[in-house]
């Protein structure tokens, strides 16, 4: 670590590469998302052949929680949208000149895309409120087959004028969406190829595919999260190969992609927010602070860890996030803030080894010349407790060495007085 006394800097860096490799084994699980896809057909009447219909508006509703997603069919009449690999969804197709169609609810339970095809019939283009759509889906959806054909009456002049306006509106919509008609198919292809590359360890190819997808549509947090995972792996690979500049760029891209995913995901209702995006952003920014002394990145990481701590219902997990927030502030040189988080954790859990070690290192880093006898005394006491209680041999050895360094270097050491026991 950069704040250690000089004689321990080399040893800390040798351990860093190993910690990076071990700490990132679980990243591949973050690159998966489910999806809903299908083809929308248009059937003029009961005797007509259904034909794929481009430009149809697709509304994807969450049945179990509030939330909705929107997309359109491409030139082949197909649609594709990435969703979280859990939850119950309702798919609605609608648009000018169509009778809306609601499909029964479908539950997403895996990353395998779910196929939902829809057949539209002529209608007035009206779309009922979401509550009515969900109720209709629960009842089995709207009938997909049109009623028997009947000879229509001769349209009036007003109806002909309305039909002409409707046709003109359809043409306008199709022209506006001409560029976007192939996007859904391309996104599906890039998701499949990117995830396949990621799973076989080809992170450069995976990152390239995710970037191509984001060039088509940069408002999909799933692709941003996948890019963050791939570039984090690339950063670790560069760093362990001593390509520090390339590693720093990759760490930065990973953190920025995940932070962008957080911003997009936070626009959703609280119950739909995915904490994994915050975890990815925090981790990438923490490495920038720890390995490169990037104070701005360290403060960003700390804020994300604080938010993650606030989301936890388990006290042990909450304290783990708070310790990481303290570590990030320490790497950023914000020792006062770091000490506050470490002490808050120790107030709840006096035997929390990572908090003890973090506080001791913060005290030592904030006074590297050991001029403050009180800081030296508290730091040596904490290091001795870590050396006695830690099960990690590297942490134990480092704590023992740090305690010995303080004993032999500090001009004066004032040991903290034992706290009085409460009755």
DSSP 107-150: E--SSSPEE--EEEEE-------HHHHHHHHHTT---SSPPPP-
Q: What angle do CA 259, 261, 264 make, to 5 degrees?
A: 115
Q: What pLDDT score was predicted for residue 52?
A: 96
Q: Which of 51-60, 136-145, 326-335, 374-383 has the lowest mean pLDDT?
A: 136-145
Average pLDDT over residues 387-395: 94
Average pLDDT over residues 128-141: 89
User: Residue 318's pLDDT band (boundaries 50, 70, 90)?
Assistant: very high
Q: Is the pLDDT of residue 258 over 80?
A: yes
| Tokens standing for residue 280 | 């990815």
Residue 330 and residue 10: Cα distance in Å, rounded?
Answer: 19
User: Residue 417's pLDDT band (boundaries 50, 70, 90)?
Assistant: low
Q: What pLDDT score was predicted for residue 361?
A: 95
Residue 296 and residue 328: Cα distance in Å, rounded?
Answer: 10
Residue 362 and residue 193: Cα distance in Å, rounded?
Answer: 45
384 near 353, Cβ under 8 Å?
no
Following CA atoms 156, 159, 164, 170 in sequence, which dihedral angle do they give, to the nearest 10 degrees? -150
Q: What pLDDT score was predicted for residue 356?
A: 96
Q: Could you report the per-residue pLDDT of 192-246, keeping only the tens digit for each?
A: 999 999 999 999 999 999 999 999 999 899 999 999 999 999 999 999 999 999 9
Rounded to the nearest 10 degrees, the angle between the axes of helix 295-311 and helix 244-265 is: 40
Q: What pLDDT score was predicted for residue 150?
A: 53
On the CB side of 77, CA atoms within 13 Å amount to 14
Residue 106 and residue 116: Cα distance in Å, rounded?
Answer: 9
User: Residue 145's pLDDT band (boundaries 50, 70, 90)?
Assistant: low
> Strand 88-94 vs strand 101-102: parallel, antiparallel, or unpaired?
antiparallel
Residue 368: alpha-carbon gap to chain centroid:
38
227 near 250, Cβ under 8 Å?
no
Q: Could you report the per-residue pLDDT of 29-42, keeping only the tens digit for each?
A: 444 678 899 999 99
Residue 360 and residue 4: Cα distance in Å, rounded?
Answer: 11
Q: Domain-by-domain residue ranges, the chain?
A: 34-127, 160-264
The alpha carbon dihedral of 297, 307, 2, 413 has a sign of positive
pTM of the model: 0.59
| CATH number of this structure's domain 160-264 | 1.25.40.10
Q: What pLDDT score was predicted for residue 17?
A: 41
Q: What pLDDT score was predicted for residue 32?
A: 63
Residue 14 and residue 1: Cα distance in Å, rounded?
Answer: 10
The CATH class of 34-127 is mainly beta
Query: pLDDT over 70 for what percent of the chain?
Result: 88
- As beta bridge partners, residue 5 has none
């Amino acid at each position: 670590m950069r704040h250690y006394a000089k004689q321990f800097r080399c040893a800390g860096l040798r351990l860093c590469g190993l910690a990076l490799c071990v700490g990132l084994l679980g990243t591949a699980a973050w690159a998966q998302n489910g999806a809903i896809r299908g083809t929308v057909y248009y059937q003029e009447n009961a005797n007509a052949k259904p034909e794929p219909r481009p430009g149809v508006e697709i509304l994807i509703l969450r049945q179990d929680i509030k939330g909705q997603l929107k997309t359109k069919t491409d030139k082949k009449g197909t649609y594709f949208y990435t969703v979280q690999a859990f939850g119950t969804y309702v798919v609605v197709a609608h648009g000018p000149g169509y009778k809306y169609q609601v499909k029964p609810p479908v539950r997403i339970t895996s990353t395998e895309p779910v196929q939902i095809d829809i057949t539209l019939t002529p209608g007035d283009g009206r779309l009922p409120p979401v509550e009515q759509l969900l109720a209709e889906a629960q009842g089995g959806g709207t009938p997909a087959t049109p009623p028997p054909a009947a000879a229509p009456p001769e349209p009036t002049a007003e109806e002909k004028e309305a039909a002409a306006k409707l046709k003109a509106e359809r043409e306008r919509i199709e022209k506006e969406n001409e560029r976007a008609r192939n996007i859904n198919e391309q996104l599906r292809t890039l998701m499949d190829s990117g995830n396949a590359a990621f799973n076989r360890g080809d992170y450069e190819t995976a990152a390239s595919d995710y970037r191509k997808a984001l060039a088509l549509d940069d408002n999909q947090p799933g692709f941003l999260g996948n890019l963050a995972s791939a570039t984090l792996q690339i950063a670790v690979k560069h760093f362990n190969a001593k390509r520090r500049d390339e590693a720093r760029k990759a760490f930065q891209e990973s953190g920025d992609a995940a932070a962008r995913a957080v911003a997009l995901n936070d626009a959703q209702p609280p119950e739909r927010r995915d904490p994994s995006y915050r975890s990815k952003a925090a981790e990438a920014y923490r490495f920038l602070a720890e390995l490169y002394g990037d104070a701005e990145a360290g403060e960003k990481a700390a804020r994300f860890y604080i938010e993650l701590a606030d989301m936890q219902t388990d006290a042990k997990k909450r304290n783990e996030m708070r310790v990481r927030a303290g570590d990030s502030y320490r790497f950023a040189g914000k020792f006062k803030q770091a000490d506050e988080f470490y002490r808050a954790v120790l107030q709840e859990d006096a035997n929390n080894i990572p908090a003890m070690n973090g506080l001791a290192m913060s005290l030592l880093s904030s006074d590297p010349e050991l001029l403050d006898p009180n800081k030296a005394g508290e730091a040596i006491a904490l290091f001795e407790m870590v050396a006695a209680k830690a099960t990690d041999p590297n942490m134990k050895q480092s704590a023992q060495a740090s305690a010995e360094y303080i004993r032999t270097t500090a001009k004066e050491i004032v040991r903290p007085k034992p706290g009085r026991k409460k009755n």
